[in-house]
Amino acid sequence: MTRSARLAAIILSLFLFSGCGYNSLQMKEETVFKAWSDIESTLQRRADLIPNLVEVVKGYAKHEKETLEAVIEARAKATSTQLPPEALSDPAAMQQFQAAQGGLTSALSRLMVVVEQYPDLKANQNFLDLQTQLEGTENRINVARQRYNETVEDFNASLRRFPESLTNKFLLHLERKEYFKADEAAKAAPQVKFN
């Protein structure tokens, strides 16, 4: 093989290899991991706000001990249930993580119902500030989940698209990632009852 033929073969193989999706698949997986980290950091922000919220409510709602303990327990469970990036392909691990976060959301909802019974608490500036921060954090969590699901969709689609599918099958062996799904309890409409 002549020198120019070898050079042409190298250039052709580099051109073909660069178009196979090897690098783009890895970059997309990193984007999924980053989006997951964004969810985790926002969930941590929520977990950090909860003790302050509970302490403020405790001062006003001394006999609501059961609700406050439920929030504290749900927070402990949510913060102890971790999902490392390498487990994003495991449906059972994702479901367990989402269940722990859903339990915390449910406990916080019950706490907000209790708060409605205390007009002085609802007017307390510390409580109002914490409630505003918590509402903002819940919105951030929702946005982070949506962004994560968008990156998962892009990544999973790339694993199925030609030529990336061949590159993954023979070289990378990356697994599809799980979407962040809604809590099963969220599918049922809440029942509002007036006494």
pTM over 0.75: no
Task: Tell me what pLDDT residue 89 has.
Answer: 92
Q: How confident is the model at residue 140 (pLDDT cuts 50, 70, 90)?
A: very high
Residue 18 CA to residue 166 CA, distance in Å, equals 13
Write the pLDDT tens digit of every residue in 80-120: 999 999 899 999 999 999 999 999 998 888 888 888 888 87
Among 175, 184, 187, 182, residue whose Cα is nearest residue 33:
175
30: region left, alpha or beta (phi > 0 left; psi from -120 to 50 alpha): alpha
- Answer yes or no: is pLDDT of 78 > 70: yes
Q: Which residues contact 159 (CB under 8 A, 6 or more apart)?
A: 25, 165, 168, 174, 176
32: tokens are 């999924």
Write the pLDDT tens digit of every residue in 16-37: 555 678 888 999 999 999 999 9
